[in-house]
Chain A
């Protein structure tokens, strides 16, 4: 059982972490060269017009005034409206629209990672130092080493352009558009923003198939890295477990090798792997950013890159803090799970 004190302590620790991130983001953005006012009015505008817009946006105020204003906004998670990328739209709405896109991609990537990573790790451990083991290890090493911006275009070239198996871009067919809400017992409800879930909620099977078809390739690309890491972790954890006395005892009692490995070894070896999966989810969000760019999927990552390019202060600040919050919450979840599995960690 997780103690309330432990939980409270971890939750309180979130405050200085987020405060640090907020300060860092504000500092970096305002120290970096570039003027959002110039972006808004464009190359054709006069210097006076740029100054006028700077004044309207409060960018001529002393930096500490802007910082305090930003901290006040951050405390309520209200960052105002985007200057340029989603002009006129509250940052909160932009994040709510784009975050599910990235989370969905990361989830599918994680799914592929687990689906292939866990069995490969087990097989590799059980068949240690055989050809299968070596092949799996080399494969895992390659998976970790190959960057997404290289593997993505390569897979598009081969599986999409050359073989014509998958679409090269997007997360649903170009001509498939979904309704904005769905109904449950006559009550209108908002959609989740995750296209495979939404198509099912809307009962649109063709659109669901289209979404799965589109997401397969990007998920595979993002899943390769995850798979490699999980299989390596699974292998080492499994190797450690199968050398334990209780495994030897089980075998000595006459239990079959397969049952021993799967029933006793696998479950115990899974504990550190679960931790890795959780912690790694944050990294997958980062990986999703690259994958989105390569596959033309408009999630929060693509949007963040564009916002940085346009010096869209509110949007960058809001998005980075959302990422930080998500990352710390996932880590907190992992810590809680782990402390549940191993109560010693609460000490």
Chain B
């Protein structure tokens, strides 16, 4: 017996020794460098002036010309000519940023800009009008660019993109702080476009010297904004620090540490443990968010923000019987949107009856009441359309979306069942879902469009602005007259006239043609930790934070 014990102890000792060796050797190996670095990060985490935030996935690039989604870091590192800021009334206004002043010619074609003087990039390189021209030309000609839209209306843009010109004729630089932009056709949304994250301004010398490393290597990704990226450990963390050469007011937050945390429940626990200073409600399912944070403990730490966004249901007019306007109207009437908003999102938001979100320029309350929940009326319309016993249709759901979205689809399924329509929910993984929608063959879906810039054009043009767009969004809307009017509305110089046209088009599409089923606009919730007193959410409600608006608790 004794001997056995000894032997076991011996074996255990050996194993422990082995474990020790293995542990230390793996540690001393490749991981050693990171060990020290990250350990430091953790120890300074609660230092003054530091804000710790988590993001669910790593950033694709910091170069806004190559991404249409990852804007959080670039909006803090770069500046734009203009900036959109929220107003107290729930709307927004465009304010000058790098631009000091500008005038527009009578015909609405030529814009003369004066830049702020004395603006430099974070490495001290001066920012000049030449950099503006360079940035615009880069956005139009870079092989990987996804931002041609912003500048496509500038005279000579098409020639530059086709390669028939190697200079953008519409942008003329007079001196370091003066330049003018001439458009090929008047475009009222142009200044708004210049305020979008994709319109960030780069330096010609810095960006050219960086080549392909621009946007990938933080050391050469240099902007004029309030922050600069000081470290980026892929898939693990990214650190921003205040730009000492920033031209504007020095922000309260001196350093931002962003951890990449792919698991939402881990993120939530980190926040509760005080390891994060802010939590984005969009990362959690709304049921989980309500159960965990709509509690006495966190209630007064919740910030609710307005979202300039419309959640809508799209119906493909190439699919029988959705080509029948009465069928589409019946679907509009059959969905009990208030119940969906109340049960799935605890009432956080409001109903939208048109295309434009509340707070958007051109939004009026005239459309209130266009959609009424009326199952009996829906049944009557279906009977009139020749479907007294209803029919079967498909809705495609994106697996990667939160389970709240699936819940929305399930309630719609129930609502439609009550009027006799059988709705089959067909799940797809995100990639297939996007691909199917883009092919124009998705029978129906629910999605949300959030404003890029504050103009009705941004909403209506995306969906109804060209024959390609109506296919790409799987709407297959047929009225080419309306499509042409949507495109032409961009060029109406008189703003009042333009807004009236947008209102008329909205009425035609939603009320008369029922080609769009507006649902609601959800509020965006954030929870602040004890160290953060307040912050200004993004004007459109994106999960993009402007760190210079954070105020820390004393």
Q: Do A and B bind each other?
A: no
**Which of B's residues lie within 8 Å of A, judged by CB?**
none
